[in-house]
Homo-oligomer: A and B are copies of this chain.
Amino acid sequence: MIQERPFDILSKSSGKQVLIRLKGGVYIRGTLTSFDAHMNVVVESAEELDDGELKAKLGTILLRGGNIIYVSPA
């Protein structure tokens, strides 16, 4: 088995739809376009979700990695 590194999943998800859960119960859904070693990410066509319902259309956002609980390729 070739061991991947966790951030490989961010490389593979670039340009694709992801769901991101933040601390405090906020979810962001959109297209991952860039990330860095601190897990700071840029998401385009970002939507903020509350219990699965659309709360706000945010366009492009820069999310600080420190508030991210998980990133999931959609």
Contact = CB atoms under 8 A, between A and B. Distances in A.
Nearest to A67: B69
- Copies of this protein in the complex: 7
A3 B63 contact: no
Nearest to A68: B64
B62 A70 contact: yes
Which interface class (under 10, 10 to 19, 20 to 34, 35 or more) fits A? 35 or more
B61 A34 contact: no
Given A26-B69, A69-B26, A4 B60 contact: no
Interface of A: 1, 3-10, 14-15, 19, 22-24, 26, 28, 33-36, 39-42, 46, 58-74
28 contacts: A1-B15, A3-B14, A3-B34, A4-B33, A5-B36, A6-B36, A6-B40, A6-B62, A7-B36, A8-B34, A9-B42, A9-B60, A9-B62, A22-B69, A23-B24, A28-B70, A39-B40, A39-B64, A58-B70, A59-B73, A60-B73, A61-B70, A61-B72, A62-B70, A62-B72, A63-B70, A64-B68, A67-B69
